[in-house]
Amino acid sequence: MTMRFNDETFRDDYTFHNSPAAIRRFPFPFDQDSYMYSVNIEPHRRGAAGSVFQHRFDVDEHYVAEMRDREITLRDDPLRCQSLPHMELAGWDFLELVMVSKAEDYPELFELHRDGDRWHWINRPLGIEQRFIFLDATSLPCGPMEYITRQTQGDHALLDQREGNLWMDAGMVTSQADWSLDFDIGMNFFEWHAPVPKAHELGVFQRALKFLLSLQQGAPVRRLNWTMTVNPRLDTSPENYHKWGPEKRTLTAGNVGAKQYLRVELQTLWRMPRSNAVAFPIRCYLLALEDLVTVPKWGRRLHRVLRDLPDELAEYKGFAVNRPLIVDYLSRFDDCAPTSAGIFPDD
Partner 1 sequence: MPGTEFSPSIASRPVYAGLVAQGAMPAIMLADAEGAGALIDLAARDPAVMERAHVIFIPAGTPHGARLRALGARIYHESPSYAACLERFRKALADAHMGTTLYLAGTEGLIGQATAEALAAGLPAGAIQSEHRGSIARRMQCVHCKGITEGVTTDPFTCSHCGLTLFVRDHYSRRLGAFQGVCVDAETPGVLPPVQEIRP
Partner 2 sequence: MTARMLRVAEVTPLSPLVTRFRFECPEGGTLPLFSGGAHVVVEMPDGATLRRNAYSLISDPLDGSGYEIAVRREDAGRGGSRFMHTHVAVGDLLRVGAPVNLFALDLRAKKHVLIAGGIGITPFLAQLRQLTRLQMPFELHYCARSRAEAAGLSLLPDLPQVHAHISDEGDRLDIGAVLAGQPLGTHVYTCGPEGLIEAVAGTATRLNWPKAALHSEAFLSPPPGAAFKVTLARSGITITVGPHQSLLEAMEEAQVDAPWLCRGGACGQCETAVLSCKGRIEHHDHWLSDAEKAAQQKIMPCVSRFQGEDLTLDR
* # residues near partner 1 by CB under 8 A: 25
Q: Does 202 bind partner 1 (CB under 8 A)?
A: no
Q: Does 335 bind partner 2 (CB under 8 A)?
A: no
Q: Does 246 bind partner 1 (CB under 8 A)?
A: yes
> Which is it for strands 221-230 and 118-123: parallel, antiparallel or unpaired?
unpaired
CA distance 248 to 172: 25
Interaction mask 123-162, partner 1, x per CB under 8 A: ----------------------------------------
The CA–CA distances, whole Å, from 306 to 34, 208, 317 equal 8, 25, 11
Out of 114, 223, 307, 323, which one is annotated catalytic? 223
Strands (E), the chain: 42-43, 81-83, 110-115, 118-123, 128-133, 155-162, 165-172, 187-188, 221-230, 260-271, 278-288
Residue 30 binding: pick among partner 1, partner 2, none (C-beta 5-8 Å cut-off by kind)? none
Distance of CA 213 to the CA centre of its chain: 21
Among 72, 106, 126, 186, binds partner 1 (CB under 8 A): 186
Report 157-176 residues binding partner 2 (CB under 8 A): 160-163
**158 in helix, strand or coil?**
strand
**What is the phi/psi pair of residue 264, to 5°?**
-120, 135
Q: Does 321 bind partner 1 (CB under 8 A)?
A: yes
Q: Does 203 bind partner 1 (CB under 8 A)?
A: no
Cβ–Cβ < 8 Å for 143, 150: no
CA distance 81 to 284: 17
Is 283 catalytic? The answer is no
Q: Does 273 bind partner 2 (CB under 8 A)?
A: yes
CA distance 89 to 213: 19
Q: Does 217 bind partner 2 (CB under 8 A)?
A: yes
Q: Does 242 bind partner 1 (CB under 8 A)?
A: yes
Q: Does 75 bind partner 1 (CB under 8 A)?
A: no
> Which is it for strands 42-43 and 155-162: parallel, antiparallel or unpaired?
unpaired
Residue 210 binding: pick among partner 2, partner 1, none (C-beta 5-8 Å cut-off by kind)? partner 2
Among 120, 131, 198, 210, binds partner 2 (CB under 8 A): 210
Q: Does 32 bind partner 2 (CB under 8 A)?
A: no
Q: Where are the alpha helices (DSSP H) in 247-320?
A: 256-259, 289-292, 296-308, 311-316
Q: Does 79 bind partner 1 (CB under 8 A)?
A: yes
CB nearer to partner 1: give 124 or 243: 243
The residues that are catalytic are: 223
Query: Could you list the residues that contact partner 1 (CB under 8 A)?
Result: 79, 180, 182-187, 190-195, 200, 238-242, 245-246, 248-249, 321
